[in-house]
Amino acid sequence: MKSLELLVERIILSSRWLLVIFYLGLVAALALYGVSFLYKFLKVAEMVFVYDDAQMILAMLGLIDAALVASLIVMVMISGYENFVSRFDEGDGEVSFLGKLDSGSLKIKVASSIVAISSIHLLQIFLNTKQYTGEQLMWATIMHIAFVVSALMLGYLERIMNGLKK
């Protein structure tokens, strides 16, 4: 019976390597998103002398939004791999942040990134209010507030959990 238990434990522990498929998929998604970003950037560069200030701000917010989403993907890939699959070999210490994001701090960073992305989208909506109905503005604001409250609650819960550990 003990050997069966050990076999099951080894299978379960080894199954974490299946996560690598997801992380490699995120790498491919990030590459595709990079191509999309370059296309958006070229469109903005092409229109630099045509856009007025408001249009340029909206275009820049779109690029900032893309950078935040890309950073979120990288954060999830690295932290997820480190937390659930295997530690990175840091070598000469060129990547000093590896191993510093546990699952609790990762949740807070992801939630903070989502709030930042949501803030940019909301700002884009408010700069283009003519294109939206009052109901659409209301729902966009409510969704943003929900993201903010969720991030605050995650931070509060993490603080409670850290207090319990000490």
What's the CA gap between 61 and 117, in Å, rounded? Answer: 10
pLDDT reading at 83 higher than 70: yes
**Do 118 and 79 lie in a common domain?**
no
Q: Which residue has the higher pLDDT, 148 or 109?
A: 148
Q: Mean pLDDT over residues 82-105, rounded?
A: 67
> Does residue 9 form part of some domain?
no
What's the CA gap between 56 and 137, in Å, rounded? Answer: 22
**Do 23 and 85 lie in a common domain?**
yes
> Does residue 5 form part of some domain?
no
pLDDT (0 to 100) of residue 37:
97
Distance in angstroms between the alpha carbons of the first and the last residue of the chain: 38
Domain boundary at 58, 91, 124, which? 91
Domain interval for residue 68: 18-91
Count structural domains, the chain: 2
pLDDT (0 to 100) of residue 102:
66
> Does residue 132 form part of some domain?
yes
Residue 35 pLDDT class (50, 70, 90 cuts): very high
Q: What angle do CA 37, 41, 42 make, to 5 degrees?
A: 120
What's the CA gap between 51 and 109, in Å, rounded? Answer: 34
Q: Mean pLDDT over residues 100-114, rounded?
A: 77
**Do 139 and 166 lie in a common domain?**
yes
Contacts of 114 (CB under 8 A, 6+ apart): 72, 147, 151
What's the CA gap between 149 and 107, in Å, rounded? Answer: 14
Give the CA count within 13 Å in the CB-facing half-sphere of 60: 9
**Do 82 and 135 lie in a common domain?**
no
Domain boundary at 91, 125, 148, which? 91
What count of residues does the chain have? 166
